Amino acid sequence: MTIVTDWNGYKKVNFLTGGREGFIVCPENPLPGNPWAWRTEFFESFNYADLQLIKKGWHLAYHCVSDMYGCPESVSMLKEFYDECTASFGLNRKPVIIGLSRGGLYAVNFALEYPECCGLLYLDAPVLDIRSWPGGLGKGVGSPECWEQCKERYRLTDEQALVFDRNPLDRAQEVAGLGIPILLVCGAKDRIVPYPENGEPFYAAVKEAGGDIEQIVKPDCDHHPHSLEDPEPITDFIEKKLGFRQ
């Protein structure tokens, strides 16, 4: 069953997948091929690029698997939602997946598991190593409560967490081999998800392995604000790489 509501003047189609809430926001004039941008977390936070995309004819989507930190179970749940969006609603089979903050864990892990289901990754101040956040085992402040929850989701003991090697950062060379374009937007002074522990080494490893990655580093920016108030560089990257334009 679907329930249609309004979101900023656009039609929002709400539905359950596996008992979990999700929705699709529909543009007034959809582009041929029904491209879509899929937020893995924090749907309305700093959504400058999302709003520009929907004005240009892109669908937007979100599926709630919060507090699971991109663990394998959550990735399987996201695949169920993807299947519903593509099969029942006719959305494109290669979405832009947006990983903002901890959403980066979901976005990259989904792309690694289902590369045929991802057209492009837009990662914004992303968590790419659970030891950095929520673990706080490096320079970041971490979150003790979230760290306990994260270890439980991944079924890790304290000792196992220290040597866990299935983070997106650990698998950067695999990511490069997927051939998926990646845009990384980060703040150089991020105190919550430190750039030197997440985005910076990820970018370097993907680039060295021949991956298709570009980055925008905001030199004086902390974890917030995310994105760019003028999102043109973001949407231009997406449009150029995927070829969907008005």
* Domain assignments of the chain as residue spans, ordered by start: 2-242
Q: What is the pLDDT of residue 220?
A: 95
Structure tokens at 52: 């520009």
Taking alpha carbons only, the member of 134, 226, 232, 140 closest to residue 185 is 226
Per-residue pLDDT tens for 118-145?
Answer: 999 999 999 999 999 999 999 999 999 9
For the chain, what percent of residues have pLDDT higher than 70? 99
Residues 183, 122 contacting (CB under 8 angstroms): yes
pLDDT tens for the chain, residues 1 to 246: 899 999 999 999 999 999 999 999 999 999 999 999 999 999 999 999 999 999 999 999 999 999 999 999 999 999 999 999 999 999 999 999 999 999 999 999 999 999 999 999 999 999 999 999 999 999 999 999 999 999 999 999 999 999 999 999 999 999 999 999 999 999 999 999 999 999 999 999 999 999 999 999 999 999 999 999 999 999 999 999 998 766
- H helix or E strand, kind and range, residue 190: none
- The side-by-side arrangement of strands in the sheet containing 59-63 is 2-7, 10-17, 20-26, 59-63, 36-39, 96-100, 120-124, 182-187, 213-218
Say what the pTM is: 0.95
69 torsion bin: left (phi>0), alpha (psi -120 to 50), beta (else): left
Tell the residue number behind the tokens 């939602």, with chain if given: 81
Question: Per CATH, is 2-242 categorized as 3.40.710.10?
Answer: no
R_g of the chain computed on alpha carbons: 17
32 torsion bin: left (phi>0), alpha (psi -120 to 50), beta (else): beta
